[in-house]
């Protein structure tokens, strides 16, 4: 059936509820073109489900029909040529079958993210308390997104911190690139050829991931591997996308020749072994007319002869061959198309360390926020100080999140001292003993007695605030306690010199479920409306995480909700757009996001309580009174601060009435924040570790 931009419609009366959707499509041609199908309910502009494939699509999943419908429409794009709809089946799913499938998917996800037992424990508590409805809602939440939540499929292609820290595209940029790519009516596929250097498997993997990240979906990738055996690390990076082929050979010339034979496209981009693509690179190349305007793109037939010049015995030979085909002038436009890894050529010699005592790092780096971010900064600081690091056997550090020179050496058997970076309830799994330092924090004034007992096995406990030290001591921690505050990156978070104009803008952020309930984001929205029922010259910007439940704002045009995990450059810009940051949180272990807002010249409206007392007072913002109250949820014990609603409302009105006062407090906040950089954190952490005998001679 010829189809490109066609719609297949089926009249069918469907009730509200869960359905099992089975769909199978097969296409005969253009394997490098990424096809797309979207399933719409009658009258909707947003698709119920979206699918992408190159050659064949075969999905079996659960979807929820949110309202009664009369018809379904399947819209296909980029499917020019014959294709066959082999199966399209939508059947009601019984409640028992839906719950069983939900449990199976949840277990798979929890195991992938290594949080199985904590979540199961919380679910068991809900059942014991008779909260069956809440248990069911949490179990079913996210089931339609289970395909996009497959860790092995998506995470490796999205969370390379090496990439984010080099040049993180904004949410707006990414959306614009995808819109441009989808608007191309007859896309011309681009092939990418990577002749790999077997001495740097990590470089080859990063290059593959940079292709997987592309906003332009119509590509194929051939990686020429010069030996018969391909490392598992590369196989794992490529196995989840049919557009990627790793072609082994007997030497580079043979491998490149075999790889070229597998390519369908007539235009080929040769990517040097230690380079990676910028996210819009293939989109920009596809928009060029002919190879004369694009020295990056070469004709496939020309490459066959060129590949014979490869030096079959030298890794340097393949690097020079690939770079000779990608001239410097082609990769240095205003918008870079490719970036060198590690600043260029592979590092020949690892920097000489200045200490003889290795340190085991017991910390997870599985993302780019929260505890993962703290662990990353600690790892980076220890590495820059010359500390030989070993990775704890149970620690999870995703390889694509770290540049090669930052990755700790694997630990076969622990004998050296260790530094644990984790919250109190996750410390136990690292095997705490007298040769352990623990860097941790908590949000309330009490920690669980079992966690305190585990911490007492360590030689020293390090917390980021004096308030935290007092709370840990009052909770029964008897070993020495050191205070080492967290920090921020002053190259990213800094104030703007431009005076504020236009509406007065307030901001708040946080999650809306689980542990994020203490952030009180909804409460800030309500207090903003009470403070300004009709005033048109005020705005409230709310930033929540992508996995938050629906957040209704009753179509108030003054309130903007951003559902995203922002790269740090975008987060700093978001902070700088505010006149004041409103923090109605019950408690903070330290309040790193609040320190970052202050560093951007933004005063806080907040209670003076918990961890943020280390850097916030009435000279850097608007302090509101609070009452200490007992916690009432399954995550926390002890007490935390309940800020006064009327005082928050008064502070909001005060900011609107005197913008200059808020600006002056913002300047003081930025000056205070300068005392708390990550460099300061590193120096104090090293000093604490030295005092307690964890580091050798320096």
φ, ψ for residue 54, nearest 5 deg: -110, -50
Predicted confidence at residue 159, as pLDDT, reads 38
CB atoms within 10 A of CB 633: 11
Tokens at residue 650, please? 């008064």
CA distance 690 to 109: 40
Predicted confidence at residue 358, as pLDDT, reads 87
Per-residue pLDDT band for 354 (boundaries 50, 70, 90) equals very low
Per-residue pLDDT band for 621 (boundaries 50, 70, 90) equals very high
Is the pLDDT at 270 greater than 90? The verdict is: no
Q: What pLDDT digit, counting tens, does each position of 288-305 carry?
A: 755 444 556 777 666 766
Is the pLDDT at 313 greater than 60? The verdict is: no
CA distance 139 to 133: 10
CA distance 500 to 492: 20
Average pLDDT (45-62) is 84
Tokens at residue 677, please? 């950089």
Contacts 24+ apart (CB under 8 A), 324-332: 325/270, 325/298, 326/270, 326/271, 326/272, 326/275, 326/295, 326/296, 327/295, 329/295, 330/294, 330/295, 330/296, 331/275, 331/296
Greatest mean pLDDT among 134-138, 341-345, 495-499, 603-607 lies in 603-607
Per mean pLDDT, which range of 84-93, 159-168, 394-403, 443-452 is the poorest?
Answer: 159-168
Q: What pLDDT digit, counting tens, does each position of 181-230 carry?
A: 888 888 888 899 998 888 778 778 888 888 988 889 999 999 999 889 88
CB 69 within 8 A of CB 41: yes
Is the pLDDT at 610 greater than 80? The verdict is: yes
Per-residue pLDDT band for 247 (boundaries 50, 70, 90) equals very high
Predicted confidence at residue 360, as pLDDT, reads 93
Is the pLDDT at 591 greater than 80? The verdict is: yes
H/E stretch holding 27? strand 17-27
Is the pLDDT at 650 greater than 90? The verdict is: yes
Of all residues in the chain, the percent with pLDDT exceeding 90 is: 34
Sole residue written with tokens 């360390």: 353
CB 439 within 8 A of CB 685: yes
Predicted confidence at residue 328, as pLDDT, reads 57
**pTM, whole model, 2 decimals?**
0.59
Of all residues in the chain, the percent with pLDDT exceeding 70 is: 81
Average pLDDT (2-22) is 79
CA distance 698 to 679: 18
Predicted confidence at residue 158, as pLDDT, reads 37
φ, ψ for residue 48, nearest 5 deg: -70, -40
Predicted confidence at residue 251, as pLDDT, reads 81
Per mean pLDDT, which range of 15-29, 150-164, 637-651 is the poorest?
Answer: 150-164
Is the pLDDT at 367 greater than 80? The verdict is: no
DSSP lists the bridge partners of residue 352 as: none
CA distance 455 to 428: 8
CB 57 within 8 A of CB 79: no
Task: Give me Rg for the CA atoms of the chain.
Answer: 28
Per mean pLDDT, which range of 12-26, 157-171, 527-541, 672-686 is the poorest?
Answer: 157-171
433: left (phi over 0), alpha (psi -120 to 50) or beta: beta
CA distance 592 to 612: 8
Per-residue pLDDT band for 557 (boundaries 50, 70, 90) equals confident
Is the pLDDT at 541 greater than 70? The verdict is: yes
Is the pLDDT at 333 greater than 70? The verdict is: no
Predicted confidence at residue 136, as pLDDT, reads 74
Predicted confidence at residue 157, as pLDDT, reads 34
Query: Please, what sign has the CA dihedral across residues 458, 422, 518, 558?
Result: positive
CA distance 512 to 510: 7
CA distance 563 to 542: 8
CA distance 34 to 31: 8
Per-residue pLDDT band for 93 (boundaries 50, 70, 90) equals confident
Predicted confidence at residue 550, as pLDDT, reads 63
Average pLDDT (49-75) is 86
Predicted confidence at residue 687, as pLDDT, reads 92
Q: Shortest CA distance to 286 belongs to which of 337, 207, 208, 216?
A: 216
Is the pLDDT at 22 greater than 60? The verdict is: yes
**Between 126 and 348, the higher pLDDT residue:** 126
CA distance 163 to 442: 31
Predicted confidence at residue 351, as pLDDT, reads 35
Alpha helices in 214-299 (DSSP H): 232-238, 252-262, 281-286
Predicted confidence at residue 114, as pLDDT, reads 57
CA distance 79 to 387: 55
CA distance 408 to 364: 12
Contacts 24+ apart (CB under 8 A), 91-100: 91/19, 91/20, 92/15, 92/17, 92/18, 92/19, 92/20, 93/17, 93/18, 93/19, 93/20, 93/62, 95/18, 97/20, 98/18, 98/62, 98/140, 98/143, 99/136, 99/139, 99/140
Is the pLDDT at 570 greater than 90? The verdict is: no
The DSSP bridge pattern shows strands 626-630 and 460-463 to be unpaired
Cα 402 to the center of its chain, rounded Å: 13
Is the pLDDT at 124 greater than 50? The verdict is: yes
CB 288 within 8 A of CB 294: yes
CA distance 472 to 461: 9
Average pLDDT (538-560) is 79
Sole residue written with tokens 């040049």: 167
Helix (H, G, I), strand (E, B) or coil at 300: helix
Burial of 622 (0-12, 13-18, 19+ CB in 10 A): buried
Q: Shortest CA distance to 645 belongs to which of 517, 544, 528?
A: 528
Q: Shortest CA distance to 670 belongs to which of 620, 613, 606?
A: 620
Per-residue pLDDT band for 253 (boundaries 50, 70, 90) equals confident
């Amino acid at each position: 059936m010829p189809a490109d931009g066609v719609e297949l419609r089926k009249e069918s009366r469907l009730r509200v509820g869960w359905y099992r959707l089975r769909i199978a499509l097969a296409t005969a041609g253009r394997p490098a073109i990424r096809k797309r199908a979207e399933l719409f309910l009658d009258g909707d502009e947003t698709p119920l489900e979206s699918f992408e494939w190159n050659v064949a699509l075969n999905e079996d999943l659960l979807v929820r029909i949110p309202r009664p419908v009369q018809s379904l429409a399947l819209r296909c794009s980029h499917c020019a040529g014959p294709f066959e709809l082999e199966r399209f089946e939508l059947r009601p799913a019984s409640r028992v079958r839906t719950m069983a499938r939900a449990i199976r998917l949840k277990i798979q996800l929890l195991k992938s993210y290594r949080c199985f037992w904590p979540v199961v424990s919380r679910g068991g508590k809900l059942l014991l308390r008779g909260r069956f409805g809440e248990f069911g809602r949490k179990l079913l939440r996210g089931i339609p997104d289970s395909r996009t939540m497959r860790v092995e499929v998506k995470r490796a292609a999205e969370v390379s911190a090496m990439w984010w820290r080099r040049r993180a595209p904004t949410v707006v940029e990414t959306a614009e690139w995808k819109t441009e790519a989808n608007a191309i009516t007859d896309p011309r596929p681009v092939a990418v050829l990577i002749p790999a250097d077997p001495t740097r498997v990590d470089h080859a993997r990063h290059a593959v991931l940079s292709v997987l990240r592309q906003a332009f979906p119509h590509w194929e990738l051939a990686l020429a591997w010069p030996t018969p055996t391909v490392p598992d690390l590369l196989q794992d990076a490529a196995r989840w996308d049919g557009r990627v082929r790793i072609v082994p050979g007997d030497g580079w010339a043979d491998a490149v020749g075999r790889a070229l034979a597998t390519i369908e496209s007539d235009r080929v981009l040769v990517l040097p072994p230690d380079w990676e693509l910028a996210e819009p690179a293939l989109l920009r190349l596809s928009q060029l007319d002919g190879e004369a305007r694009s020295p990056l793109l070469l004709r496939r037939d020309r490459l066959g002869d060129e590949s014979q010049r490869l030096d079959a015995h030298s890794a340097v030979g393949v690097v020079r061959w690939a770079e000779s085909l990608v001239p410097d002038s082609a990769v240095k436009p205003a918008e870079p198309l490719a970036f060198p890894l590690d600043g260029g050529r592979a590092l020949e010699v690892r920097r000489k360390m200045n200490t003889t005592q290795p340190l085991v790092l017991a910390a997870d780096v599985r993302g780019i926020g929260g505890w993962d971010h703290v662990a990353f900064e600690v790892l980076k600081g220890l590495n820059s100080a010359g500390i030989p690091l070993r990775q704890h056997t149970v620690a999870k550090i995703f390889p694509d999140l770290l540049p090669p020179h930052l990755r700790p050496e694997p630990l076969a058997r622990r004998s050296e001292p260790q530094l644990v970076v984790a919250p109190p309830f996750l410390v136990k799994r690292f095997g705490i003993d007298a040769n352990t330092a623990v860097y941790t924090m908590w949000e309330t004034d009490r920690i669980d007695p079992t966690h305190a007992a585990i911490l007492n096995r360590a030689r020293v406990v390090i917390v980021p605030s004096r308030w935290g030290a007092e709370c840990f001591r009052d909770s029964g921690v008897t070993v020495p306690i050191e205070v080492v505050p967290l920090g921020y990156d002053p190259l990213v978070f800094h104030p703007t010199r431009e005076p504020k104009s236009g509406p007065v803008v307030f901001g708040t952020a946080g999650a809306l479920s689980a542990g994020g309930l203490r952030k009180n984001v909804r409460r800030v929205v309500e207090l903003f409306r009470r403070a300004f029922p009709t005033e048109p010259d005020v705005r409230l910007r709310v930033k929540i995480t992508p996995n938050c439940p629906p957040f209704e704002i009753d179509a108030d045009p003054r309130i903007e909700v951003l559902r995203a995990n922002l790269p740090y450059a975008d987060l700093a810009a978001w902070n700088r757009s505010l006149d004041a940051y409103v923090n109605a949180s019950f408690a903070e272990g330290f309040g790193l996001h609040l320190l970052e807002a202050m560093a951007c010249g933004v005063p806080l409206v907040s209670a003076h309580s918990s961890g943020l007392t280390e850097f916030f007072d009435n000279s850097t913002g608007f302090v509101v009174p609070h009452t200490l109250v007992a916690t009432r949820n399954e995550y926390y014990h002890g007490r935390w601060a309940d800020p006064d609603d009327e005082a928050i409302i008064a502070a909001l009105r005060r900011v609107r009435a005197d913008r200059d006062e808020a600006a002056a407090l913002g300047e003081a906040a930025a000056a205070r924040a300068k005392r708390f950089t990550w460099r300061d954190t590193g120096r104090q952490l090293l000093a604490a570790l030295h005092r307690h005998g964890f580091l050798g001679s320096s």
